[in-house]
Chain A
Amino acid sequence: MKVMILSPALISGATSDVKLMEQKWPFKGIFGRFDESSLQRGFQVYREVCAACHGIRHISYRDLKGIGYTNDEIKVIAGDYEVVDGPNDEGEMFDREALPSDKFVGPYENDKIARLANNGAYPPDLSLIVKARANGADYLYSLLNGYKDYPENFEASEGMYYNEFYPGYQIAMPSPLMDDIVEYSDGTEATQEQVAKDVTSFLAWTAEPELEERKSLGVKTLFFLILLTIMLLGVKRKIWKDVE
């Protein structure tokens, strides 16, 4: 309990005072698992919307196996991207199609050009965004749905947007989502909430691709440890029976 009270993660972090739109995420809890179809839809949203400005540089194309794509599908996905490789034997750098082992190619060559293209703001890499914010999944979902018109008397800055969940309420990213911004091939209705939910799930996966393995190993480990400890308690009691 002491630990809970002292946990800095609980105390600071999300700095806006508006209550987050809390969602029931299937990957929360001891037995939490990702919803694979939601992850794939989220990946589609990432590719068609977010990827215009945000990278996921910690993810390799081959990692998509983790959300249910086959090797052949991954090769096709990777083939849509070009990476600079080299130098070759002539000493030249050259472009080639990305391989499954390459990391996701980001939208910008460097930070400077990213800022230049975005009115001075830097669109952060999204691989870890869910882990890098307090209550990351709920925060991200809320942020994506939190755009509003400027309240009266609010001093709006040039090129900024009002979002009630963003620290300071002004964010450089325009509202990225709306109803039917993507068309889902599995027939799911692409409402803004659904799209936000899917892309948040996808980014929860990019932040913690080990989550399912971790939790299932955790359950087994705890089961073993609890059994072992109960047995040790029995042994301890037996040995100590005659003392005192």
Chain B
Amino acid sequence: MSKDTEKKGITSWIDERLPVFTFINHNLRDYPTPKNLNYFWNFGSLAGVTLVIMIITGILLAMQYTADTDLAFDSVERIMRDVNNGWLLRYIHMNGASMFFIIVYIHIFRGLYYGSYKYPREILWMLGVVILLLMMATAFMGYVLPWGQMSFWGATVITNLFSAFPVVGDYIVTFLWGGFSVDNPTLTRFFVLHYLLPFAIVGVVALHLVALHQFGSNNPTGIDVKSDGDTIPFHPYYTVKDYFGLGVYLIIFAALVFFAPNFLGHPDNYIPANPLQTPAHIVPEWYFLPFYAILRAVPDKLMGVLLMFAAVAVLFLLPWLDKHRVRSAQFRPYYKQFYWLFFVDCMILGWVGAMPAEGIYVTISRAASIYYFAFFLVIMPILSRYEKIGELPSSISSAVLSDKFDKGTESYAK
């Protein structure tokens, strides 16, 4: 061994052959990041942490869970009562799903506000939508596993949606069920897929990060990084900021797990599944309610199903629906207002999705569904064309340093 390599040590010996340390240095340490990111930029790393929490608790739960219609419910209760800290694992996993969606929805709304889906981050955005779809599938199947009343009837209602498709509908449903009703084959395949899909999510998350690091993070001004003065190294600035955000997040998460673990769940799911008794109201988990509302807003079943899927699918087209050259809503007075209306609209959809589909609720859900699609398909293209904006700050640094910055943006609105 020569003196040179001795000096560099084992790390550089490895790094020369397998550049892991260069990679870490490049992507987690020196990685130049806009210096003006606000706390909404914490949610990507929070989502990543949540995914890890879900996978670890999920693997441990799977060691105790039994995917059999006769045993599933009792095996979950056994975890809650007899497995050491089983209640903790299960409550973390159960509430973790809700936390995951809260985080990811905020992450998406962040992207929507600051135009993070625009050139050159279109693929980054689309990979994010793929992650959302995988999450939805995973969460839906996970909710079936405890085999309570809502598990069973939720699975029945949602899988039945596919029967709306002409000709092939019934075949699809039978294929999904592995039989002629939701039964043991359905439960076992849902368990297998529920275990498998999170690893697919990990894969897509890796691609999401590769795409992110190609051009780096967007930032609240939406202005491209122009010089080194606009950026700071990821470590220690954003590592510590992410840690602080993580602390706040874990406080909320822990409060839910320890003090209100069933707050977001439905009491009916503590009743064992009974195929002969339909619950009075079948409601999906809260994170599906906006889409459920869109589904029920449409009188025609097939159209309802198509629109529900379209509600997610439309996100794929976002980079081409909004072609306005300015990214951040900060500098787009009209977009900003429609954006907040859209945010409220999603809340209304979520609320109405939990209400019975009758009377005034139907009208509200229809109006809200129309705005949901109009926002993407009508308002965005029109604004892309006609929305006038004032002068943008010349760089991130000048935007941050300018005292008049806030007043300046106000004047655009007038």
Contact = CB atoms under 8 A, between A and B. Distances in A.
A5 B244 contact: no
A9 B265 contact: yes
Interface in A203-223: 207, 209-210, 214-215, 217-219, 221-222
Contacts of B74: 58
* Residue from A11, A58, A243 whose CB has the most chain B CB atoms within 10 Å: A11
Contacts of A24: none
A119 interface: no
B1 interface: no
Interface in B322-346: none
A15 interface: yes
Interface residues of A, number: 45
Given A30-B259, A217-B258, A229 B244 contact: yes
B262 interface: yes
A30 B266 CA distance: 21
Given A8-B286, A9-B264, A229-B248, A243 B351 contact: no
A240 interface: yes
Given A131-B262, A240-B237, A225 B250 contact: yes
Given A7-B264, A225-B254, A239 B236 contact: yes
B61 to A, nearest CB: 15
Given A58-B77, A217-B88, A218-B258, A232 B244 contact: yes
Interface in A3-61: 3, 5-9, 11-13, 15, 30, 58
A58 B271 CA distance: 13
Given A8-B289, A131-B262, A244-B400, A63 B81 contact: yes
B257 A132 contact: no
A132 B271 contact: yes
User: Interface residue tally of chain B, by bracket?
Assistant: 35 or more
B240 A214 contact: no
A240 B232 CA distance: 10
Nearest to A228: B247
A167 interface: yes
B122 interface: no
B119 to A, nearest CB: 28
A8 B279 CA distance: 14
Interface string B235-276: 011001101100110110011011101111111101100000
Nearest to B343: A2
Nearest to A211: B87
Contacts of B237: 239-240, 243
Interface of A: 2-3, 5-9, 11-13, 15, 30, 58, 63, 124, 127-128, 131-134, 136, 167, 207, 209-210, 214-215, 217-219, 221-222, 225-226, 228-229, 232-233, 235-236, 239-240, 243-244
The 8 lowest CB-CB distance pairs between A and B, nearest first, are: A218-B258, A229-B247, A132-B270, A232-B244, A210-B87, A6-B286, A131-B270, A8-B283
16 contacts: A5-B347, A8-B264, A9-B263, A9-B264, A9-B265, A11-B354, A11-B355, A13-B267, A15-B280, A63-B81, A132-B271, A207-B270, A210-B81, A214-B261, A229-B247, A239-B237
